[in-house]
């Protein structure tokens, strides 16, 4: 009987470890996709491009909002890399992702000349592609988190979860 218990414990622990590793791998892919997405936001000197010599207030505000949202997402991503287990950090990352998307949409509304039709090679098309990559990576992360959390609740692994004080992962 002790041998069966030992084998079961090792097997259950290995399964939970594999599932946890898949969560970490999915987060790595999400991290890479978000980093590429953030890199699309131009620096201050390149941001305001208008035909006029003086940019409009709405245009300046739109670019400033987009840059601020990108900085916020980069900061949240940096913190979450260090503490992936903290629910509040993952929730903040999710909120920052939504803020960046909203800032992009506001920029398109505030700058009609900038918000023209997306053409091959344009920042619009690249933005949409990277946004799609971020969403796919987020979906994969959420799937891995769901599988890991479900495994923590299954009997008899729930006993091992309690003994080892394993934490649930937070979905985006």
The total number of structural domains in the chain stands at: 1
Residue 130 has pLDDT above 60, yes or no: yes
Q: How many CA atoms lie within 13 Å of 30's alpha carbon, on the beta-carbon side?
A: 31
Helix residue spans in 39-118 (DSSP H):
44-47, 57-82, 87-110
pLDDT range class, residue 48, cuts 50, 70, 90: very low
For residue 170, being part of any structural domain is answered with no
Q: How many CB atoms lie within 10 A of CB 26?
A: 21
Which has more confidence, 140 or 157?
Answer: 140
Instruction: Give tens-digit pLDDT for 5-42.
Output: 777 778 788 888 899 999 999 999 999 999 999 999 88
Residue closest to 4 by CA, chosen among 156, 164, 158: 156
**pLDDT value of residue 55:** 54
pLDDT range class, residue 53, cuts 50, 70, 90: very low
DSSP SS3 for 101: helix
**pLDDT value of residue 120:** 55
Residue 117 has pLDDT above 70, yes or no: no
The H or E element containing residue 120 is none
Q: Kindly list the distances between the CA atom of residue 155 and the CA atoms of 57, 101, 146, 161, in Å, as whole numbers in the listed order.
A: 60, 40, 16, 10
Residue 103 maps to which CATH number? 1.20.140
Angle between helices 2-38 and 87-110 (to 10 degrees): 20
Residue-range definition of the domain harbouring residue 53: 2-164
Between CA 72 and CA 145 the distance in angstroms is 24
Residue 46 has pLDDT above 60, yes or no: no
Q: Is residue 133 packed enough to be buried (19+ CB in 10 Å), middle (13-18) or exposed (0-12)? A: middle
For residue 120, being part of any structural domain is answered with yes
Residue 99 has pLDDT above 60, yes or no: yes
């Amino acid at each position: 009987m002790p041998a069966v218990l030992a084998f079961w414990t090792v097997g259950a622990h290995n399964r939970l470890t594999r599932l946890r590793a898949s969560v970490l791998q999915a987060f790595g892919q999400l991290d890479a996709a978000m980093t590429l997405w953030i890199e699309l936001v131009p620096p201050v000197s390149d941001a305001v491009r208008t035909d006029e010599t003086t940019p409009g207030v709405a245009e300046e505000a739109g670019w400033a909002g987009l840059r601020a949202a990108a900085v916020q997402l980069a900061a949240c991503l940096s913190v979450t890399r260090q503490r992936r287990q903290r629910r509040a950090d993952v929730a903040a990352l999710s909120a920052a992702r939504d803020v960046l998307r909203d800032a992009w949409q506001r920029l398109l509304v505030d700058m009609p000349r900038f918000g023209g039709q997306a053409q091959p090679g344009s920042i619009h098309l690249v933005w949409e592609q990277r946004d799609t990559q971020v969403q796919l990576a987020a979906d994969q992360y959420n799937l891995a988190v769901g599988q890991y959390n479900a495994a923590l609740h299954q009997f008899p692994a729930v006993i091992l979860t309690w003994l080892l004080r394993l934490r649930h992962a937070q979905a985006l």
